[in-house]
Amino acid sequence: MGEGKNASPMGLYDIALGEKNRAYFVNKFQEFDQKGPGLKISWNWAAFFFGGIWALYRKMYGWFFAWWFVATVLTVFKTIPNALIQLILVTVAGAFWLGFAVFANSLYHSKIKARIAAANKAEPDATLVSGRLRARGGIHSWVPIVFGAIPVIGIVAAVALPAFLDKTNVQVASTQSEVTSPMPALAEAEPELPATSQLKPVDAGAANKQARTNRLTPEQVARNEWNRAENAAMNSFKNEGLDYRAKPALLAAYNTHLKALGADPKNERRDAAWFLNEAHRMTKGDLGIATKTPKLGIPVNPSSGLVFTNESADNYDGDRYISPAAPAAAPAVKELGPIDRWRYESCQQDASQAPTQTGVTVGLRICRKKFAQ
């Protein structure tokens, strides 16, 4: 087969098209040449599905920028709250899309013919025409790689970015909690720690070792141990019917005993669990908690010798016993899909790595709230 200006039209088509789908387009172009000038209807599925990307792949730069212009106009005007304008935009865009797919092969034929004509005109030497067509014809093989990678990157970002933000938010919240409230002991009326409640002296070596491992001071380790003991005690007391954190009046009475026990030199060797449980025992003694239930709404003096049940103590507001409100419905637990389940478990793992128990507690609380668990 000859090359250059002396080559047959089909031979020049072969050179200008390159290897990709060459036989298909050569047959189409031969049909178009037999029909004469003008656009010919010939559906192209690749042009229909990929539009401007297909045009760029086939080095039809003008049509690629035409697609880009149409997409830009749609993006700018789609925010206009006018039904007629929106209808016109959709109609024009749909007609452009379908029209491009219908005439894509014919448009590509015109482009290849123009490219061949330009090569024949630019190269006086016929042997150079083929080289020019090979250099400027063919396809852009990088286009499917680049545009194929974009959705993959988008999917990875959609999965990984929320997990990364969850981890960052948990770490920031844990850090802020540790700075602003290093000891979230008892709720509104937070008592001072008993001076001797920094665990038993026999645990001092373990506290120092843990402090060196976690880069914390012995005082911080002791405070963390107190927090853990206190949380465990509060949960145990709540199971008995005394939720101190939900009842400010009971909490104030409990804290009063806790401070008094801490100020007593005789308790110098006591550990945290003893202080918490002894204050609880004394508070129950003040309230006279036993078996008899007072009439609701009657003012009660804890020192009057009346005997109450655990349930009545839970409804004590500091002046009178009130009718308990109906229990609030438990929040619905959200059913998590595979991705959200993975994000929730990652959030829990990140929270559990906080350097202090306070950070762990706050981080886990944030995870449960964020994912409705």
Place of tokens 């002296």: 201
- On the question of pLDDT at 204 being above 60, the answer is no
Residue 176's pLDDT is 58
Eight-state DSSP code of residue 44: -
Mean pLDDT of 75-85: 87
- What distance separates the 2 farthest-apart alpha carbons in the chain? 121
In angstroms, the CA 225 to CA 271 distance is 10
**301-309 long-range contacts, CB within 8 A, separation 24+:** 302/253, 309/241
Query: Comparing 199 with 316, which gets the higher pLDDT?
Result: 316
Tell me the whole-structure pTM to 2 decimals.
0.43
Mean pLDDT of 254-274: 87
Backbone angles phi, psi at 320, to 5 degrees: -150, 165
In angstroms, the CA 250 to CA 325 distance is 17
Residue 290's pLDDT is 52
Using pLDDT thresholds of 50, 70 and 90, give the confidence band for residue 12: confident
In angstroms, the CA 121 to CA 129 distance is 9
pLDDT-above-90 percentage for the chain = 24
Residue 64's pLDDT is 96
Using pLDDT thresholds of 50, 70 and 90, give the confidence band for residue 195: very low
Backbone angles phi, psi at 127, to 5 degrees: -70, -15
Secondary structure of residue 193 in the 3-state scheme: coil
pLDDT digits (tens, 9 = 90+) for 161-189: 887 887 777 666 666 555 444 444 444 44
Domain boundaries, the chain: 4-140, 153-180+333-373, 195-324
Residue 191's pLDDT is 46
